[in-house]
Structure 1
Amino acid sequence: MDVKEAFEISQGIIDRIGQVYLGNEVVIRKTLAAALVNGNILFEDYPGLGKTLLAKAFGKVLGLKYTRVQFTPDLLPADILGTKVWRQNKGTFELIKGPIFTHVLLADEINRAPPKTQSALLEAMEEKQVTIEGETFPLERPFFVIATQNPIEFEGTYPLPEAQLDRFLLRLRVGYPKSLEDEIAILEARLSWGKDDPTGDMEPLVDRETFVRMQETVERGIFISRDLLRYIAELVRNVRSDERVEAGPSPRGGIALMKVAKANALLNNRDYVLPDDIKVFAVDALAHRIMIKPEYAFEGISGEEIVREALEKTPVPKEGRSG
């Protein structure tokens, strides 16, 4: 599949999802960019802003197997991964697969489960496989997690471990509708649907094989110059060396930014990356990988603020094709 064909299909996906998820096309585009590189996404925002609706719409439109797990304090790792059960009549153990054996896993309110259960996702999110009682099972491509998280100050939530946060390609915030007209459009759409969840009526726009080919186009068909690789590396190092940072993004953060920048180039019908493809995702890809020193955290300094300042002081290459 060439870049133009993948771009045209992507536009159809964005338009189709925009029919049910109203008022924020930027979030749709960023979610699709992450999906195109098999990246996990963490939506961190208040309840009722459409995070679950967006995740379900993606599963439907991409023609992928979709599973939702509602994370609760009593959820166990086996409830996600599955387990082996002894079958007396066969004299063998049989694998009962958990909901993680899917293409799109919606981990709803992931921070309501204790750390042990959250950590059950680590291997699947990074290595695209799960290990059950010593036996490893690969997950069918594509596989990515879309997780939602309520703000930590909400009662009954657990902070995500740093190791798990690092497995999320992007952390996105949906935000409230930007205008009165957007808010009215949401109310009008609900009236026209006649139901709270319109995703049941959505038809797939592509199938699994087509979407995998789109992912391969991003991986092999989009060029990124060495100058831009240097730009990413310098940006990451500037974030890491900030005096307010206890621990900064690892090389995994730079790789995440490179991958999603390539996906964004495809979404703009280009076969090469520009600096703007990197800038638009820098905060989403790096901010959640930063640990702020306590004395600065108490002052309200955020990872987003540090990444934005690093963007301002990191020299930007002038050319995207060379190098």
Structure 2
Amino acid sequence: MLSRTLLCLAVLSACTPALADTVWLTNGDRLSGKIRLFDGGKLLIQTEYAGAVAIDWKQVKTLESDQQLLVKQDDYSAEVAKSLQAADAGKVTLANGDAPKTVELASIQQMLKPRPVVEDMVWKGNVDVALDYERSENKTDDYAIDFKTSARHGHWRHTAEGEYNREFQDEVVTTDNWRAEYALDRFITEQWFWQGRFNYKRDKVEDLKLQRTVGTGPGYQFWDDELGAFSLGSLLNRTDYEYTQGGRDNFYSLAMKWDYNRYLIGRSVELFTTGEVGKPLSSVADYALDAEAGLRYRVTDWASLNLKAERNEIKGTQESDLDKTHYSAGFGVTW
């Protein structure tokens, strides 16, 4: 009798399909998978047959999910639904024990897995490390590490990034610099935001040994979801330069800042570029450019390989120009 019972249970479990989230579209199609995130008008569902698929929220008829999700209908209140149940066209039912609630899909602004402390916080980032050892006619040792992380909660987004580069050629230091930046964004609408930021750079080799910038200005977020993000910002900056020989410059400038990344081939390859180009309002310098671009290949959900190029250029300074390009390849951690 026991063996028969175990056999029946095994057959039943084999015949029962695994639980999955389901999305019904207005054109009659249906997608099954795991809902990852809804934000910025896009619903991201992870499927076994097509990888991560981004769906326009206006094309969703209804949906269901067996996972716990945080559902936000405005910027100040949110509800943790134990599951989602399909409802009439344009609606979904939030299941919470004995008090299920049916809401309009159009009223939902965001859906994501609740976080342990700040439930509606979206946190992402990466740390990249590059090491290069060359032993030929010249001995070259090159070390580079950089990080970037951002956390968004309600109307606010915090972004911190930094990097450190050091290079030896025949035991002589040819590169030794580091940079740190912090930016705080306040979203006015779903796309428009106002940014304040502080940037600090220190170089122990170049004639321009210190750059310090404080800026503020409006920006526009074109999209930001699990398949990538793109934003542009315009800033009014106050910049201070200090030179190795003792000279100083300070000036105001107008700058354009960009931040773009996009996942390709089922989120296994990431194309990214960030940077800023600025024009001083005085004759201290002609222009300044600080940018990077590269590719990141995700080996696992958290480990990645990266290839990038960095460009730092300042032309027309009273003391000494800066013109530097750095290429690196390495490994990193992504979350």
- If the TM-score is normalised by the length of the shorter chain, which range does it land in? under 0.3
TM-score, reference length from structure 2:
0.21
Q: Normalized per residue, which structure has more helix?
A: 1
TM-score, reference length from structure 1:
0.22
Q: Normalized per residue, which structure has more strand?
A: 2
Question: Greater RCO between the two (CA within 8 Å, min separation 6)?
Answer: 1
**Larger-gyration structure (1/2):** 2
